[in-house]
Amino acid sequence: MADEDLDAVMDLRAAVAGEGRWIGAELPLDEEGDRARIRPGRPGTGAFVAIAEEGTLIANLGIELAPYGVAHLGMCVADGWRGRGVGRALLTEAIDWGRTAGAHKLELQCWPHNDAAHRLYEGMGFVQEGYLRRHYPRNNGELWDAVVMGLVLDEERPGSSLH
Ligand SMILES: CC(C)(COP(=O)(O)OP(=O)(O)OC[C@H]1O[C@@H](n2cnc3c(N)ncnc32)[C@H](O)[C@@H]1OP(=O)(O)O)[C@@H](O)C(=O)NCCC(=O)NCCS
């Protein structure tokens, strides 16, 4: 992602948020906060986009490495471009970024009804690690569950010795 992609990424996020069923963000977006968080080049973050041949930005992925070594990610593919391998390509880049950045694990959350996301993440080796019941308030007054998924990159370091 380059600086000049930021407007298109915000438009994409607004469009996907407007679908009302896939991502955590809802309309209206927190423009100022999102721009500050999503802009490329922020230390400890990776930002990726997919651009179609005609130049349209069709997907983005953001990943942020927490101080404790876990990288958190979120992504969007534009309606009309889904199911064509774009998500898989971006996630492959993000996993590489995580390894290079020294993350021992990647983590994300998705809605239980998001079958495409589950299929993508499980296909890349993520496993369900948690289930958050009635966790996220939505603008329509509902409380949505969320699935926590993780991909461990470091299986070598010992786990806890306190049993
Ligand atoms: C979820 C999302 C990122 C997946 O990206 P994508 O480009 O559509 O997925 P890909 O084409 O790379 O496919 C990846 C895998 O998911 C599967 N898949 C894609 N769409 C699917 C669908 N609607 N139902 C079931 N499986 C689906 C593909 O078959 C593929 O699996 P395979 O490798 O076993 O064949 C994308 O659909 C999206 O952005 N949706 C809206 C926003 C969103 O949900 N973001 C993620 C929030 S957690």
Distances from the Cα of 48 to the Cα of 40, 51, 111, 132, angstroms: 9, 10, 22, 28
- Contact present, 105 and 148 (Cβ < 8 Å): no
Q: CB 109: neighbour CB atoms within 10 A?
A: 17
Amino acid, res. 22? W
Nearest CA to ligand 1 atom 38: 77
Q: Which residues line ligand 1 (CB under 6 A)?
A: 16, 22-23, 75-77, 82-88, 110, 114-117, 119-120, 123
CA angle at 142 for the pair 140 and 147, rounded to the nearest 5°: 125
For ligand 1, the distance from its centroid to the CA atom of residue 163, given in whole angstroms, is: 39
**The pair of three-digit structure tokens given for residue 30, joined into one six-digit string:** 């927190």
**Neighbouring residues of 162: CB distance < 8 A, sequence distance ≥ 6:** none
Per-residue confidence in pLDDT tens, the chain, 163 aa:
999 999 999 999 999 999 999 999 999 999 999 999 999 999 999 999 999 999 999 999 999 999 999 999 999 999 999 999 999 999 999 999 999 999 999 999 999 999 999 999 999 999 999 999 999 999 999 999 999 999 999 999 999 999 8
- The pLDDT assigned to 43 comes to 96
- The pLDDT assigned to 163 comes to 83
Q: CB 139: neighbour CB atoms within 10 A?
A: 9
CA angle at 141 for the pair 140 and 143, rounded to the nearest 5°: 115
